[in-house]
Amino acid sequence: EKAGYDHFMLKEIYEQPKAYRDTMMGRIAEDGRSIQLSELGMTQEQVKEIRRIHIVACGTAYHAGLVGKSVIEQLARIPVETDVASEYRYRNPIITPDTLVIVVSQSGETADTLAALREARRCGARVLAITNVVGSSVAREADAVLTTWAGPEIAVASTKAYSSQLIAFYLVGLYLAQELGTRDEAAIAEVASALLALPEQVESLLAQADALKAIAEKLARHNSLFFIGRGLDFAVAQEGSLKLKEISYIHSEAYPAGELKHGTLALIEEGTPAIALVTQEELAEKTLSNIKEMKARGAHVLAVTNESNLQEVAKSVDEQFAIPNTLPILTPALSVVPLQLVAYYASLALGHDVDKPRNLAKSVTVE
Ligand code: F6R
């Protein structure tokens, strides 16, 4: 059942190219110039009535929602808030009939996410579910369902479900942009073609997994580290930090790169490891100066960057790992892969039960 892999998690990491292809299939038009999402069940008029979007989810799905916020805001220019379901449902959020609520859940059974969905519907909002399980509770109760076709995810630590949720958000963002006219056909086609290139790019990343194994084995000797990034890189940093915590039990914190100097820099000492994501061309220079601040205090920095930035970034860090070049908005779908592998290999090096980490359950049906 593990198809020759040592663990379900590794198998699922390697299934990501297929998960991306399956999730895009039939949703990007044959000519690559438009997005077809009849699953949303919304007329163009109804799309134009959306005034705000709330993305609600837990854990890893919440982290996908952080990327979703940025993607939808950039492409469709609709204001988006992303919240964790166990906060959202109790904070009396402002939900109106012109709010689109997007709940994200791999299992479709998470109690707090389901409760948030019910609250949103009670307030008259339209609810779109992004889920990996057809016929799940979330899928049954939502107004519309966008299924991620990642296939069954067995490992407790979510990998291919998260990255397929990113693909779903790219499709939703592009679709809204197309219906609202915030992006023209050429711009949609440009993103669509870059999306279609992602599966092969993930394959090329996976072929370099060995380089990450050595890095992860060194990290596994430490008991705390930092993940930093700006913008979309910060969203992915949060997911990388969670992945490492849950299966390696190594403490880590994800920080917006520019925020360190407001307190956290005090924790950096000789040898403190840090993983810096530097994939956003426009923000690279700023993040590099934050990396220098950390290194001046003794930090040991691994940078995950894109090929075109590699030479520049390599000058300022101790180790680097390059992801293939893509559009800035799409980098999360690539940069998360090395972070998943680092978590996997760190857990393995420490001899933990990778697929069944202590204290955690795959489906969280308690509040
Ligand atoms: C982490 C992880 C959890 C889930 C969270 C929500 O790897 O798997 O954080 O993402 O419990 O689960 P779903 O998506 O099933 O609602």
Answer whether 241 contacts ligand 1 (Cβ < 6 A).
Answer: no
User: What's the one-letter identity of residue 88?
Assistant: Y
Check whether 363 has a pLDDT greater than 90.
Answer: no
CA of 311 to the centre of ligand 1 (A): 36
User: How do 144-147 and 273-278 pair as beta strands?
Assistant: unpaired
CA of 106 to the centre of ligand 1 (A): 7
Mutate to test the pocket of ligand 1, among 60, 112, 249, 356 (most ligand atoms within 8 A of CB): 60
Do 279 and 335 form a contact (C-beta atoms < 8 A)?
A: yes
Instruction: Read off the pLDDT of each residue in 4-24 and give the average, rounded to a whole number.
Output: 97
CA of 339 to the centre of ligand 1 (A): 17
Q: How far is CA 326 from the centre of its chain?
A: 16
Residue numbers annotated as active site: 362
Q: With pLDDT > 90 as the criterion, what percentage of the chain qualifies?
A: 97
Answer whether 202 contacts ligand 1 (Cβ < 6 A).
Answer: no
Do 180 and 76 form a contact (C-beta atoms < 8 A)?
A: yes
Check whether 304 has a pLDDT greater than 90.
Answer: yes
Answer whether 105 contacts ligand 1 (Cβ < 6 A).
Answer: yes
Select from 137, 119, 135 the least CA-distant residue to 56: 119
Residue 190 is predicted with a pLDDT of: 98
Q: How far is CA 338 from the centre of its chain?
A: 13
The model's pLDDT over 263-272, given as tens digits with 9 standing for 90+, comes to 999 999 999 9
Contacts of 181 (CB under 8 A, 6+ apart): none
**Which amino acid residue places its CA nearest to atom 8 of ligand 1?**
158
Check whether 257 has a pLDDT greater than 90.
Answer: yes
Helix (H) or strand (E) holding 103: strand 99-105
d(CA 56, CA 128): 10
What are the φ and ψ backbone dihedral angles of 303, each rounded to 5 degrees?
Answer: -105, 135
**Which amino acid residue places its CA nearest to atom 6 of ligand 1?**
58
CA of 292 to the centre of ligand 1 (A): 34
Mutate to test the pocket of ligand 1, among 7, 107, 163, 164 (most ligand atoms within 8 A of CB): 107
Instruction: Read off the pLDDT of each residue in 300-325 and give the average, rounded to a whole number.
Output: 97
Residue 320 is predicted with a pLDDT of: 97
pLDDT-derived band at 1 (thresholds 50, 70, 90) equals confident
Contacts of 311 (CB under 8 A, 6+ apart): none
DSSP labels, 125-169: -EEEEEESSTT-HHHHHSSEEEE-------SSS-SHHHHHHHHHH
pLDDT-derived band at 259 (thresholds 50, 70, 90) equals very high
Answer whether 246 contacts ligand 1 (Cβ < 6 A).
Answer: yes
Angle, helices 160-180/59-76, rounded to nearest 10 degrees: 20
Instruction: Read off the pLDDT of each residue in 144-166 and give the average, rounded to a whole number.
Output: 98
pLDDT-derived band at 365 (thresholds 50, 70, 90) equals confident
Residue 122, judged by CB atoms within 10 A of its CB (0-12, 13-18, 19+), counts as exposed
Answer whether 110 contacts ligand 1 (Cβ < 6 A).
Answer: yes
Instruction: Read off the pLDDT of each residue in 234-257 and give the average, rounded to a whole number.
Output: 98
The model's pLDDT over 49-97, given as tens digits with 9 standing for 90+, comes to 999 999 999 999 999 999 999 999 999 999 999 999 999 999 999 999 9
Mutate to test the pocket of ligand 1, among 355, 364, 366 (most ligand atoms within 8 A of CB): 364
If you average pLDDT over every residue of the chain, what do you get? 97
Instruction: Read off the pLDDT of each residue in 289-312 and give the average, rounded to a whole number.
Output: 97
Tell which wins on pLDDT, 362 or 248: 248
Instruction: Read off the pLDDT of each residue in 127-140 and give the average, rounded to a whole number.
Output: 98
**Which amino acid residue places its CA nearest to atom 11 of ligand 1?**
59
Residue 342 is predicted with a pLDDT of: 98
What are residue 253's DSSP bridge partners?
A: 226
Q: Is the dihedral of CA 111, 157, 256, 219 positive or negative?
A: positive
| Range in 82-91, 202-211, 223-232, 353-362 the model is least confident about | 353-362
Alpha-helical regions (H) of the chain = 8-14, 16-24, 44-48, 59-76, 85-88, 111-122, 137-141, 160-180, 185-206, 209-219, 232-248, 284-296, 310-314, 332-349
Task: Dig out the tokens for 155 from the structure.
Answer: 């490992």
Answer whether 336 contacts ligand 1 (Cβ < 6 A).
Answer: no
Instruction: Read off the pLDDT of each residue in 159-175 and give the average, rounded to a whole number.
Output: 98
CA of 58 to the centre of ligand 1 (A): 6
